[in-house]
Amino acid sequence: MSSRALSVVVALAVGIVAGVAWVAIAEPARRASEPSSPVVSRPPSFRSATIEVVPPEAASTSVDRDVVAASAARIEVPSDTIAPRSDDDPRVILFGLATDAAGHAESERQNLYLEVTNDGGKRTVSKIEAGHYSIAGLEPGDWKLSVRSPGFQDFERRVTLSRSETLHREDFVLERAWNIAILVQTPAGQSLFAVPGNDQFPMQALCAVATKDSPGERLPTTDLMHFVNYGVGRFMQRLDMSDSMSSEIPKDAIGYLMVLEPSPVYVSLVVRQFVIETKRIESPIQSLTFTVSPDRLLSLMSSLVLRVVAGPTGEPIEGVEIQLSNGQMMRMGPKSGKDGIVRFDHQAPGQYSIWARVPGYAMAIRFVDLEPGRETDLGNFSLSSPNAISGRVLDSEGRPVAAQPSLNPYYENDPVRSLAYTLSLRLRTDSEGHFSAAGCAPGRYLLSFGEEYRNPPAPNEPEWTIAPVLIDTRAGPAESLELVVVRGVELKLKPTSREVVGVVFRIMTTDGLPYRRGSFYDTNPRTLRIAPGSYDLVLSRDSKEIRRVPIRVGADGATEDIAP
């Protein structure tokens, strides 16, 4: 057989194997994919009848021969079931092998899924079975492959699928993570889940964090109900797990902690940002038990009281319903009585935002920090007359733009609160680019184009953006604003070592307005889409600023190496 004929046979063979694998997993992949932007998943077909399948390492020079091994196989395929891919169908089959560093395909013992997304928002998911995966019907272009699963470090890779290829093989290695199942028991050895009345405990606020140094009695304030990414660890609470994930940890565990750095580390049990107990771990372990009395947990619960009044007169307002929320929960309190009083009792401690929406008054927003075991009295919660903010979003040629700006109260010298998700009012422009927020209280606001949840070109990243705009309504409405936006360019922040894990970054304008913020949860680059211009990149850890670096983002974007 000539070398050309042999290459054709090899390509056909791999295609058939990929097609067969696809048929086996297409149904669970279809169910797992999002219906809002499905990827059409049917394999292109081929002509053949009997083919020789060569070992995988012979079909791709990118495979490590010490890791992947296979033997030749002969597959009989009825020729009338195979048809060629039409010339106007450019879709590609993506397939490959996923192993750990030792070359083992561990997915036989746990559920592993590969998620594939592109910048157009399309997404599909394939189950990895015995190390193999296959996804058909992908359009040519750039795609991001990612795997997130207990027992492995997060994997992410970008691949480019060409119009000239029918098949694209992409093998990858998953690095094993160090996972610790976290258990909490009473001094009598009883699981916290078995204690009568445990619904009175702050269970949703309970989590574990990993740090390289002992964290002390209090962590930085968080607007989440419990930490997910902090220090050198990532916590997954049982309440947030799927049934298959939760079945892989002890039934009494509150969740598992993925440790991203080698030992020794400190592991702490915390409620919101308040540390209950810390243990130093000298070597990798599979589970860790903390002993806490029920009375200790109950003693952490807090309460809040406030009085709703009309701003100009101070008169109490009856029938106002106050919303108490953070990044993971929302609770509506009882309506204010004749005296304007509203109470929230038996509340987990920590930071919350308070919202009030009353017809005829401006929307009122405040932050509150509840100390453990105490009642916090906010005094008067004043409602004022509303001032409107309105305007129009255009491109450089004066055409209306469909965009999703966010409006946040501006806290001078406090960029974290100025970008707080829990205080953000999400706006949308109409077909002519107009937007409006009618019920704003007098004050200063930050209008920004950051995370976007409708048709983003990349996960949560905006297509259109502009540096943040400061709006002042203290003297009256701010109306007929005209904002000229540009298409965002990519700013890639690349960690240079694992010591960057846990570092928080902020992008600030040169006049001190906060634009974007985020954290390095692992060593993968963080890619943002922002407007070209000059900025300050501010790095911090545990609320302490480490470094401030001037950066320039050009029309083609920019890449910044992030050192510890």
pLDDT of residue 119: 66
Do 18 and 147 lie in a common domain?
yes
Tokens of 119: 């910048």
Do 66 and 200 lie in a common domain?
no
Distance, CA of 262 to CA of 433 (rounded, Å): 51
Single-letter amino acid, residue 270: V
State which of 334, 351, 383 marks the end of a domain. Answer: 383
Residues whose CB falls within 8 Å of the CB of residue 189, separated by 6 or more in sequence, listed in order: none
Do 141 and 65 lie in a common domain?
yes
217-236 pLDDT per residue, tens? 998 888 788 888 888 888 98
Please give the backbone phi and psi of residue 117, each rounded to the nearest 5 degrees, phi first. Answer: -135, 155
pLDDT of residue 267: 97
Distance, CA of 490 to CA of 555 (rounded, Å): 9
Taking residues 357-376, what's their average pLDDT?
89
Please give the backbone phi and psi of residue 431, each rounded to the nearest 5 degrees, phi first. Answer: -65, -20
> With contact defined as beta carbons under 8 Å apart, do 253 and 180 qualify?
no
Distance, CA of 388 to CA of 137 (rounded, Å): 48
Burial of 511 (0-12, 13-18, 19+ CB in 10 A): exposed
Do 258 and 335 lie in a common domain?
no
Distance, CA of 436 to CA of 166 (rounded, Å): 49
pLDDT of residue 508: 96
550 versus 224: which is more confidently predicted?
550
User: What sign has the CA pseudo-torsion 337, 343, 344, 350?
Assistant: positive
State which of 298, 330, 358 marks the end of a domain. Answer: 298
In a domain, 440, yes or no: yes
Spell out where 129-252 has E strands. 132-138, 141-147, 155-161, 167-169, 172-174, 178-185, 206-211, 229-230, 233-237
Do 331 and 268 lie in a common domain?
no
Taking residues 420-443, what's their average pLDDT?
88
pLDDT of residue 49: 31
- Residue positions counted in the chain: 564
Question: Phi-psi category of 476—alpha, beta or left, where left has phi over 0 and alpha has psi -120 to 50?
Answer: left
> With contact defined as beta carbons under 8 Å apart, do 355 and 277 qualify?
no
158-207 pLDDT per residue, tens? 899 999 999 999 999 988 778 899 999 999 999 988 888 777 888 888 99
Please name the residue that has the structure tokens 């307005």.
513
Tokens of 262: 């080698």
Lowest average pLDDT, out of 105-114, 377-386, 492-501, 548-557, goes to 105-114
Do 480 and 504 lie in a common domain?
no
Number of domains in the chain: 5
Tokens of 336: 């204010």
pLDDT of residue 80: 37
Do 17 and 125 lie in a common domain?
yes
pLDDT of residue 176: 78
User: What sign has the CA pseudo-torsion 527, 530, 535, 539?
Assistant: negative
Helices vs strands, H then E, count in the chain: 5, 41
Tokens of 353: 């935002």
Is pLDDT above 60 for 83? no
Residue of 416, 409, 412, 411 lying closest to 504 (CA atoms): 416
Is pLDDT above 80 for 130? yes
Do 168 and 63 lie in a common domain?
yes
Single-letter amino acid, residue 338: K
Enclosing domain of residue 270: 178-298
State which of 427, 460, 486 marks the end of a domain. Answer: 486
Taking residues 480-485, what's their average pLDDT?
95
Residue of 210, 135, 136 lying closest to 146 (CA atoms): 135
- Classified as helix, coil or strand, 492 is strand
In a domain, 303, yes or no: no
Q: What is the CATH number of the domain that holds 517?
A: 2.60.40.1120
86-128 pLDDT per residue, tens? 556 789 999 999 988 778 875 555 678 898 988 666 778 888 9
Residue of 448, 416, 421, 422 lying closest to 435 (CA atoms): 448
Taking every pair of Cα atoms in the chain, the longest distance, rounded to a whole number of angstroms, is 95
Which residue(s) pair with 102 in the sheet?
A: none
pLDDT band at 242 (very low <50, low <70, confident <90, very high): confident
- Classified as helix, coil or strand, 277 is strand
Do 169 and 182 lie in a common domain?
no
pLDDT band at 515 (very low <50, low <70, confident <90, very high): very high
Convert 387-442 into a string of H (helix), E (strand) and C (coil): EEEEEEEECCCCCECCCCCEEEECCCCCHHHHCCHHHCEECCCCCCCEEEEEEECC
pTM: 0.64
3-61 pLDDT per residue, tens? 444 444 434 444 444 443 343 333 333 333 333 333 333 333 333 333 333 333 333 33
> With contact defined as beta carbons under 8 Å apart, do 529 and 461 qualify?
yes
CA distances from 303 to 38, 329, 383 (A): 46, 16, 22
pLDDT band at 394 (very low <50, low <70, confident <90, very high): very high
pLDDT band at 452 (very low <50, low <70, confident <90, very high): low
pLDDT of residue 16: 42
Do 101 and 214 lie in a common domain?
no
Q: Mean pLDDT highest for which of 257-261, 413-417, 456-460, 535-539?
A: 535-539
pLDDT of residue 270: 95
262 versus 19: which is more confidently predicted?
262
Q: What is the CATH number of the domain that holds 326?
A: 2.60.40.10
Is pLDDT above 70 for 155? yes
